[in-house]
A and B are shown apart, each in its own frame.
Chain A
Amino acid sequence: MQSLVYILPEIFLFIVATVLLVTGLFVKNIRLINSLAIFSLFVAFVLILNQPFQSAFLNSFVVDEFSLVLKVMIIVGSIASLIMFVSSKDDLNINVYEFPILIIFSTIGMMVMVSANDLLAMFIGLELQSLSLYVLAALNRNSLLSSEAGIKYFILGALSSGLLLFGISYIYGFSGNTNFNLIAVNINPESLGLIIGIVFVLAGLAFKVSAVPFHMWTPDVYQGAPTPITGFFALAPKIAAMGLLVRFLFNSFGEIYIDWQQIIFFISIASMMLAAFAAIAQTNLKRLMAYSSIGHIGYALIGVACFTDEGLRSLLIYLMIYLIMNIAVFAFLLSLKRNDGYFENTSDLSGMHKNHPLRTMLIALIMFSLAGIPPLAGFFGKFYIFVAAIESEMLFLAIIGVIASVISAFYYLRIVKIMYFDEPKEEFDGSSIKSLNLLYYPSSVLIIIFFIYPSPVINISEYAIQSII
């Protein structure tokens, strides 16, 4: 019974989601349900901040600094996508009250993921999260693309869960434990079975963070899913899966890091390079953002591959900046609306600085930030990643990283080019939506002024990692 206190935020959200599910049957006001969901996420946010650090359920669920910071980021991402939902639900044909509820369920799953210290807890969290996401991806039933995205995501996701479970069974079989700490204690560095297990689990997790070579679903799902959901995909699940990956690798297999380091090394390089080249050919903004997120995950994985304090710190800094930049980008995408129709091709942005000067200037700066040009926040994310890489003598990763960032600068610049250099089109009317501006302006201003006082983000990251190493 005592243990239940340690999962209070999760339980609270679960009760809220269930109650809302029933309420939704009778109350047809989707806006109200959405507001309640946002409010309860805020409450969960406060509950998380006030939780004691403890491990529960035979050490299979831990609440520590690391999980706290990641949960806060996840909740921010969830709230952001709920705000995006409310601003676009009518036009996108996703006017269903299940949306906020599914987001909450998925958030619970992600909160379990970042706290999981046991293979089974990890799997439960992962599946709760994934199942909600499968439904969300296919939410727009009238759209062929959305249904396709849902099915694709479901089939590949189920496959990856299968791989993950297969890996878990190997790890359990060859170590005799499912708890991360106990695995670490009883680890047999010589065991080939364990390595096979790690490879399969990593394959499953790489699917969730959409790292190359398990990225194939990303562009299709990003494009097909309704934009608020794409935003959600880009924000929260990546962070949760990254946190899970870190805890899984660092807590249980820290001793044999040499073995998994090369795997992360490879998928990091592959993600950065593939994304840099593949994104150049994209004409759909959501597809482009999909490749962009693949690339960013590649950079974040450098932080994991380092297996040092510095690496972990840089990973968290990177994820935080990534979160803020993506909130701005997706809020921007949703404002590309004219006469109830949404636009998501790069050519639709053509010359938009004529009609929306301030908005365009900010998104152009966000693009430069995504490309990692100083003095914007994206640069600092990359800077810390490279510091970590060079410190752990992974110069090769750093060199590939900078080369990929130069190549990827090209496609970010192309967006700036289209917005500024090309002939203007009609005005977008979505820019007057207040709730979107609430997301868009603060996040882009944060990105721009980040360099003046970067210490808070760095301190939070340092605070978070103390429980891992």
Chain B
Amino acid sequence: MSEIPILSILIFIPVVGIFFMLLIKNNDEQSSQNLKHTALWITFLNFIISLSLLFSFDLNNPDFQFVEKYSWIESGISYHLGIDGVSILFVILTTMLVPICILASYESIIFSVKEYLISFLALETFMIGVFCSLDLVLFYLFFEGGLIPMFLIIGIWGGERRVYSTFKFFLYTLAGSVFMLLAIIYIFISTGTTDVETLLVYNFTSNEQLILWIAFFTSFMVKIPMWPFHTWLPDAHVEAPTAGSVILAGVLLKMAGYGFIRFSIGFFPDASEFFAPFIFSLSVIAIIVTSLIALVQEDMKKLIAYSSVAHMGFVTLGIFTFTVQGIEGGIIQMISHGIVSAALFLCVGVVYDRLHTREISRYGGLVSKMPFYSFSFMIFMLASLGLPGTSGFVGEFLVLLSIFTVNTYFAIFATTGVVLAATYSLWLYRRIIFGALIKDDLSEMFDLTRREIIIFVPLIILTIFIGLYPKPVINIIEPSTEKIVNQIKMKLD
């Protein structure tokens, strides 16, 4: 094991960055540019450090690695960090998306730049913390702490109805999470610890499991979000600034999926098995209903937001099959969605920066003015609908494979979701990109700038790489997933 507390470094580099930012004055154009550069370099540095995780990560070891443990509040609640195959990719996804977000805000954020960047850095700390923490109280701290910067990001730099949206976002997720807090406290009292590693081998009685499972579920259900508690998401997405949407879709939703894998099925396998049909039903409803809703949207961001809910439906379907393929599929689907939906929101951001509207009907025929843009948009659109050869396919395929082995009916309904996804995605693409360029204000549109190309290229490469050759990703995920599945099987017997 390495001696360097690399996870703590990852978590606290943004905090150090915040101190730097506080020292920089923000009074003119030049200094706000400096602030942006500083934040970009800090987050980029964090990304490079997180890549070193990949190199020193032991692929054959299914247990937690890079473990750090210090006593913190009192016995039983410690500062315990560690990552395994399930969480490492989320950490890297986070560190990758944050610099992209900051780069994407270079021109669109013009006032209160300092606060904006500080919020983003704080958010990065919380997000990395969520995926690294191996203590429930620590996890809750990071999980909820992320609400504060996100509340400000949507509320200050958002669109017209930003106040309503950000309040809805904050109160929905807070109301969902407080019951998880009570469950965590109950676990602490009945077992004497909130250490995840200890609790993963602890057996709760089946009655306890049912109640605790529901408490955790309310929190994750709101956050992921599942139908019918998804309504905060379209609002938040629509009103958030581009980078806010990117991080919301890219990482914040994944926290809940990660929570399902790590806690819901890890701690409470009996209850998870009991509730699995319920989850399947909700997921399938989510896939079909939100896909249909996406079809009729007039607003680009809203459409992508609803498609996120549908994609997250696949994730929950996969996770609750308790098969290796299912959980792997869920994780890959989350990673892929993290890249693809983030990229789609960036695509919306590109045209929004130029025309300042997200209404689909205001666009059309962009291909003649913006060929590079149309190409990138196409890649992500196809990945989003799960075309083979893109990252979206791998996850969906594994999930559908696993759900077929468990229950054919759910599988059939879920598959219709794939068709619907193709419908709304392609139709959106047609309405924006194809057709004749007849609207006057569109003639002013120009293609991707260098900054935007820098943003899109890594995302395109990743999307196609994971789609064509998912083996390295699966290699990382597999040992830990197998361990989780074995543990569940052992507990269930």
A residues lining the B interface (CB < 8 Å): 353-354, 357-358, 361, 364-365, 368, 373-375, 379-380, 383, 386-387, 390-391, 395, 398-399, 402-403, 405-406, 409-410, 413, 416-417, 420-421, 451, 454-455, 458
Contacts and interface: CB of A to CB of B under 8 A. Distances in A.
A365 B189 CA distance: 29
Contacts of B188: 387
A334 B171 CA distance: 30
Contact of B114 (A357, A399, A417): A357
Given A410-B167, A454-B73, A373 B115 contact: no
Given A413-B167, A451-B141, A402 B152 contact: no
Nearest to B71: A455
A383 B115 CA distance: 29
Interface in B4-54: 22, 26
Contacts of A374: 140-142, 144-145
B115 A361 contact: yes
Given A417-B163, A420-B156, A421-B163, A383 B181 contact: yes
B186 interface: yes
Contacts of A353: 112, 115
B182 A399 contact: yes
B445 interface: no
Q: Top 10 A-B pairs ranked by shortest CB distance?
A: A402-B178, A374-B141, A375-B141, A406-B175, A374-B144, A375-B145, A421-B155, A391-B189, A390-B185, A387-B185
Contacts of A410: 167, 171
Contacts of A387: 185, 188-189
B168 to A, nearest CB: 11
Contact of A420 (B141, B155, B167, B171): B155
Contact of A413 (B115, B137, B151, B181): B151
A320 to B, nearest CB: 15
Nearest to B186: A390
Nearest to A405: B178
A374 B174 CA distance: 11
Given A368-B148, A387-B188, A420-B156, A413 B182 contact: no
11 contacts: A357-B114, A361-B118, A364-B152, A386-B181, A386-B185, A390-B182, A390-B189, A410-B171, A413-B170, A416-B152, A416-B155
B254 interface: no
Given A361-B115, A373-B147, A390-B189, 20 more contacts: A353-B112, A353-B115, A357-B114, A357-B115, A365-B148, A373-B174, A374-B144, A379-B141, A383-B137, A390-B185, A390-B186, A399-B182, A402-B181, A406-B171, A410-B171, A417-B167, A420-B152, A420-B156, A421-B162, A458-B74
A409 B182 contact: no
A441 to B, nearest CB: 13
B352 interface: no
A348 to B, nearest CB: 18
Interface of B: 22, 26, 72-74, 112, 114-115, 118, 137, 140-142, 144-145, 147-148, 151-152, 155-156, 162-163, 166-167, 170-171, 174-175, 178-179, 181-182, 185-186, 188-189
Nearest to A382: B181
Contacts of A364: 152
A353 B111 CA distance: 11
Question: Among B74, B112, B185, B189, which residue has the most Cβ atoms of chain A within 10 A?
Answer: B185
A409 B169 CA distance: 12
B244 to A, nearest CB: 14
Nearest to B179: A402
Contacts, number: 86
A386 B181 CA distance: 9
Nearest to B158: A421
A458 B76 CA distance: 14
Given A373-B144, A374-B144, A402 B171 contact: no
Contacts of A357: 26, 114-115
Contacts of B186: 390
Contacts of B163: 417, 421
A405 B188 CA distance: 21
A20 B417 CA distance: 81
A413 to B, nearest CB: 6
A410 B174 CA distance: 11
Nearest to B129: A375
A375 B167 CA distance: 19
Given A390-B186, A413-B170, A406 B155 contact: no
A357 B181 CA distance: 32
A409 B141 contact: no
Contacts of B182: 386, 390, 395, 398-399, 402
Contacts of B151: 413, 416
A273 B182 CA distance: 18
Contacts of B74: 455, 458
B174 A406 contact: yes
Contacts of A454: 72-73
Contacts of A417: 155, 163, 166-167
Contacts of A379: 141, 144
A358 B22 contact: yes
Contact of A455 (B73, B118, B141): B73
A373 B144 CA distance: 7
A386 B166 CA distance: 27
A383 B180 CA distance: 12
A413 B170 CA distance: 9
A399 B180 CA distance: 11
A337 B179 CA distance: 41
A282 B145 CA distance: 27
Contacts of A368: 148
Contacts of A406: 171, 174-175, 178
A403 B72 CA distance: 28
Contacts of B115: 353, 357, 361
A79 to B, nearest CB: 29
A420 B156 CA distance: 6
Nearest to A387: B185
Contact of B185 (A361, A380, A383, A403): A383
Nearest to B147: A373
A451 B115 CA distance: 22
B143 to A, nearest CB: 8
Contacts of A354: 112
A373 B185 CA distance: 16
Given A373-B144, A406-B174, A416-B151, A421 B185 contact: no
A421 B22 CA distance: 21
Nearest to A453: B72
Question: Among B72, B167, B182, B188, which residue has the most Cβ atoms of chain A within 10 A?
Answer: B182
A396 to B, nearest CB: 11
A414 to B, nearest CB: 8
Contacts of B175: 406
A395 B190 CA distance: 14
A379 B162 CA distance: 26
Contacts of A451: 141
A257 B114 CA distance: 54
Contacts of A402: 178-179, 181-182
Contacts of A383: 137, 181, 185
Contacts of B118: 361
Contacts of A395: 182
Contacts of B137: 383
A451 B133 CA distance: 15
B234 to A, nearest CB: 20
Contacts of B170: 409, 413
Contacts of A421: 155-156, 162-163
A451 B148 CA distance: 16
B73 to A, nearest CB: 6
A416 B155 CA distance: 10
Nearest to B154: A421
A25 to B, nearest CB: 49
A421 B175 CA distance: 23
Contacts of B142: 374-375
Contact of B148 (A373, A391, A405, A455): A373
